[in-house]
Amino acid sequence: MRKSNKPIAGYHLLMILSAVDGIIKPEEGIKIQEYMAEEFPFRLNLDNELETILQLKADDWQNHFEFHAKCFEEDSTEKERKDFIQFAKSLIKADNKVSDDEHKFYKLLKNIWKLN
């Protein structure tokens, strides 16, 4: 995989966080759109990124997630990572239910970034 920049890596992280429970709920989609509006103030075609994510098998999600967590970390400050973690928390809580898999990936992200 080729390294992603911070906004693209964040998109991958959020998409996987929202999909690990089997479905991206409308509330989660709205949160992802908020992220995109903030990080991509210009129109950007993310079709290739979405296609990459959609082609992943569930067994591949964790490796893909870890890779993009490291890409994000390389291009961000500690404050940006802390802000992203808070946003990720709001994403997994958006539908008022946090699945075990969502919690697992959220904790994984915190561990990778050493934000425990």
CATH number of the domain to which 30 belongs: 1.10.3680
Domain assignment present for 56? yes
Mean pLDDT (the chain, rounded): 92
Higher pLDDT, 39 or 69: 69
Domain assignment present for 1? no
The pLDDT assigned to 46 comes to 82
Distances, alpha carbon 13 to alpha carbons 45, 69, 98, 114, in Å? 17, 7, 16, 16
CA-based end-to-end distance of the chain: 28
Instruction: Give the residue-averaged pLDDT of 75-81.
Output: 96
Task: Please say if the pLDDT value at position 91 is more than 80.
Answer: yes
Question: Which H or E run includes 68?
Answer: helix 61-74
The pLDDT assigned to 71 comes to 97
How far, in Å, CA of 8 to CA of 49, rounded? 8
The pLDDT assigned to 48 comes to 86
Domain span at residue 31?
Answer: 6-112
